[in-house]
């Protein structure tokens, strides 16, 4: 990946049929490899096929092919050190592209002054955190591609507290298996600890340099660019560190829990 997107956000290219056919061939070839039977990650597929999974149509094809794959094998292939590609500022989509299971009209208004982040499970210091406390923590900025399982994507710029730093600051047990989230709009989800500790996973407070609005997840949302959009909860109300598997809103509707690279 050379940091250049293969298309401008929102500017769909015509579907390249020959590319799709090549994909099919590659997939069949990979399925024959005994070692990998049963599961593959997006990252592994990129490496093995040399196909550009950052292209809109190929991402969609890969996702469709992935949907039946087994979470455990995918997690096995996940590399905690492999980074999602980052992009130049000129590709950042403004305004931010919104998506949620409810329409924009249904997104709750949250009062930042009275909002508290609840902490639960294997966390030493469960005192609820204020937004001011989160704002005071060190922030990093990333320009990465957000990929939704519905088949669209955009490049955005998110700033936030590295999630590893946040977890350490509250005394979370980093050997626990999962981190689970509950949101203001009844959305919920969970990620594996390796993803939680990934260097690009952050508790986001800003989009393109401005405090995120409620559509982008105010007061805080998770950004985990090694995961699909639905693994990145917005308007977080509670975080739990746990060894007990917790499902998610879209996982309960049939999507693959791992859903990442
Ligand atoms: N609270 C909440 N978080 C959510 C969702 C949602 O419906 N509610 N949708 C998920 C899905 S499917 C996607 S693609 C992204 C969209 O994030 P965006 O609006 O910043 O593009 O948010 C994810 N997080
Ligand atoms: Mo999504």
Residue 67 has pLDDT above 60, yes or no: no
Residue 181 has pLDDT above 70, yes or no: yes
> pLDDT by residue (tens digit) across 205-257?
999 999 999 999 999 999 999 988 999 999 999 999 999 999 999 888 877 78
CA angle 206, 138, 145 (to 5 degrees): 45
Residue 257 has what pLDDT?
A: 80
- Omega of the bond prior to 126 within 30 degrees of 0, cis? no
How many angstroms separate the CA atoms of 232 and 96, rounded? 15
Residue 63 has what pLDDT?
A: 53
CA angle 190, 191, 193 (to 5 degrees): 130
**In percent, how much of the chain has pLDDT > 70?**
70
239: buried, middle or exposed (CB in 10 Å: 19+, 13-18, 0-12)?
Answer: buried
How many angstroms separate the CA atoms of 105 and 229, rounded? 20
Output the residue whose Cα is nearest ligand 1's atom 11.
Answer: 230
157 membership: H or E segment, kind and range: strand 152-162
CA angle 257, 196, 147 (to 5 degrees): 55
CB atoms under 10 Å from CB of 224, counted, come to: 22
Pocket residue to mutate for ligand 1, from 59, 93, 99, 180, most atoms within 8 A of Cβ: 99
Is-contact 70 40, C-beta < 8 A?
no
Output the residue whose Cα is nearest ligand 1's atom 7.
Answer: 100
Residue 82 has what pLDDT?
A: 83
> pLDDT by residue (tens digit) across 68-102?
445 655 666 677 778 888 999 999 999 999 999 99
Residue 144 has what pLDDT?
A: 94
Q: Which is more confident, 103 or 20?
A: 103
Output the residue whose Cα is nearest ligand 1's atom 16.
Answer: 99
Q: How distant is the alpha carbon of residue 151 from its chain centre?
A: 14
Residue 1 has what pLDDT?
A: 38
Give bridge partners of residue 144 from the DSSP assignment. 156
Pocket residue to mutate for ligand 1, from 60, 97, 100, most atoms within 8 A of Cβ: 100
- Omega of the bond prior to 252 within 30 degrees of 0, cis? no
Q: How far is the CA of 194 from the centre of ligand 2 (A)?
A: 21
CB atoms under 10 Å from CB of 20, counted, come to: 13
Give the DSSP letter string of 103-134. -GGGSPP--TTT--BEEEESBS--PPBPHHHH
Q: Which atom of ligand 1 is nearest to the CA of 97?
A: 21
Which bound ligand lies closest to the C-alpha atom of 232? 1
Q: Give the binding-site residues of ligand 1, using a 6 Å CB cut-off.
A: 96-101, 146, 148, 183, 185, 187, 216, 229-230, 232-235
> pLDDT by residue (tens digit) across 140-154?
999 999 988 777 889
């Amino acid at each position: 990946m050379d940091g250049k997107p293969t298309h401008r956000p929102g500017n769909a290219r015509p579907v390249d049929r020959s590319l799709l056919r090549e994909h099919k061939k590659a997939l069949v070839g990979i399925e024959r490899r005994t070692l990998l039977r049963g599961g593959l990650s997006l990252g592994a597929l990129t490496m093995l096929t040399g196909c550009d999974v950052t292209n809109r149509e190929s991402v969609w094809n890969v996702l469709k092919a992935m949907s039946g794959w087994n979470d455990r094998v995918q997690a096995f292939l996940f590399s905690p050190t492999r980074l999602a590609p980052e992009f130049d500022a000129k590709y950042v989509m403004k305004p931010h592209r919104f998506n949620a299971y409810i329409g924009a009209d249904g997104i709750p208004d949250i009062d930042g002054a009275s909002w508290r982040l609840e902490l639960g499970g294997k966390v030493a210091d469960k005192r609820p955190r204020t937004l001011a406390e989160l704002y005071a923590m060190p922030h990093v900025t990333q320009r990465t591609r957000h990929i939704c399982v519905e088949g669209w994507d955009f490049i955005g710029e998110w700033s936030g507290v590295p999630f590893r730093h946040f977890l350490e600051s509250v005394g979370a047990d980093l050997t626990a298996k999962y981190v689970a989230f509950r949101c203001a709009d009844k959305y919920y989800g969970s990620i594996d600890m390796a993803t939680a500790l990934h260097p690009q996973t952050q508790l986001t407070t800003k989009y393109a340099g401005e405090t995120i609005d409620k559509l982008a997840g105010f007061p805080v949302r998770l950004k985990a660019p090694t995961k699909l959009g639905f693994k990145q909860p917005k308007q977080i109300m509670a975080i739990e560190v746990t060894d007990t598997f917790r499902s998610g809103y879209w996982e309960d509707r049939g999507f693959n829990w791992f859903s990442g690279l």
